[in-house]
Amino acid sequence: MIPIEKNEYYDVTFEDLTHDGAGVAKIEGFPIFVANALPNERAKIKVIKVKKGYAFGKVMELYEESKERIEAPCPIYKQCGGCQLQHLSYKGQLEYKEKQVREVLARIGKLDLETVKVHSTLGMDDPWNYRNKAQVPIGEREGGLVAGFYQQRSHEIIEMEKCLIQQSENDKVVQVIKGICQKYGIRAYNEQKHKGWLRHLMVRYGVTTKEMMVVFITRTNDFPHKKEIMKEITERFPNVKSIVQNINAKRTNVIFGDETKVIWGEEYIYDTIGHVKFAISARSFYQVNPEQTKVLYEKALEYAELTGTESVIDAYCGIGTISLFLAQKAKHVFGVEIVPEAIEDAKRNASLNEITNAEFAVGEAEVVIPKWYKEGNKADIIVVDPPRKGCDEALLRTILEMKPKKVVYVSCNPATLARDLHVLEQGGYRTVEVQPVDMFPHTVHCEAVAKLELIL
User: What does the binding site for ligand SAH look like in residue numbers (CB under 6 A)?
Assistant: 285, 287, 316-318, 321-322, 336-339, 342, 364-366, 385-387, 392
Q: Are 8 and 25 in contact (CB under 8 A)?
A: no
Q: CA-CA distances (angstroms) from residue 415 to 105, 107, 146, 314, 441?
A: 8, 9, 38, 21, 19
CB of 321 to ligand SAH, least distance (A): 4
CB of 132 to ligand SAH, least distance (A): 13
Which residues lie below 8 Å from residue 253, measured CB to CB, with a gap of 6+? none
* Comparison of 145 and 336: residue with beta carbon closer to ligand SAH: 336
The DSSP output letter for 185 is T
* Comparison of 198 and 449: residue with beta carbon closer to ligand SAH: 449
Is 337 annotated in a binding site? The answer is: yes
Q: Are 385 and 315 in contact (CB under 8 A)?
A: yes
Q: Are 269 and 206 in contact (CB under 8 A)?
A: yes
Is 11 annotated in a binding site? The answer is: no
CB of 322 to ligand SAH, least distance (A): 5
* Comparison of 149 and 316: residue with beta carbon closer to ligand SAH: 316
Q: What are the phi and psi torsion angles at 368 (to 5°)?
A: -70, -45
CB of 429 to ligand SAH, least distance (A): 21
Is 150 annotated in a binding site? The answer is: no
Identify the active-site residue in 163, 181, 317, 412.
412
**How far apart are the two ends of the chain, measured CA to CA in Å?**
47
Reduced DSSP (H G I as helix, E B as strand, rest coil) percent helix, strand, coil of the chain, to 5: 25, 35, 40
* Comparison of 137 and 318: residue with beta carbon closer to ligand SAH: 318
Q: Is 337 left (phi over 0), alpha (psi -120 to 50) or beta?
A: beta
Buried b (16+ CB within 10 A) or exposed e, 397-434: ebbbebbbebbbbbbbbbbbbbbbbbbbbeeebbbeeb
Return the residue nearest ligand SAH (CB atom). Answer: 318
* Comparison of 24 and 338: residue with beta carbon closer to ligand SAH: 338
* Comparison of 386 and 441: residue with beta carbon closer to ligand SAH: 386
Is residue 163 flagged as an active site residue? no
- Assign 3-class secondary structure to 79-125: HHCCCCCCCECHHHHHHHHHHHHHHHHHHCCCCCCCCCEECCCECCC
At residue 336, what is the residue type?
V
Q: Which segments within 195-337 are labelled E, that is strand?
A: 198-205, 212-218, 240-247, 259-265, 269-273, 276-280, 311-315, 332-337
Is 86 annotated in a binding site? The answer is: no
* Comparison of 148 and 390: residue with beta carbon closer to ligand SAH: 390
Which residues lie below 8 Å from residue 102, measured CB to CB, with a gap of 6+? 113, 118
- Assign 3-class secondary structure to 135-168: EEEEEEECCEEEEEEECCCCCCEEECCCCCCECH
Q: How far apart are CA 139 and CA 156, in angstroms?
A: 8
- Classify the C-alpha dihedral 128-90-294-104 as positive or negative: negative
Active-site amino acid positions? 412
User: Annotated binding site for S-adenosyl-L-methionine, which residues?
Assistant: 287, 316, 337, 385
User: Annotated binding site, which residues?
Assistant: 287, 316, 337, 385
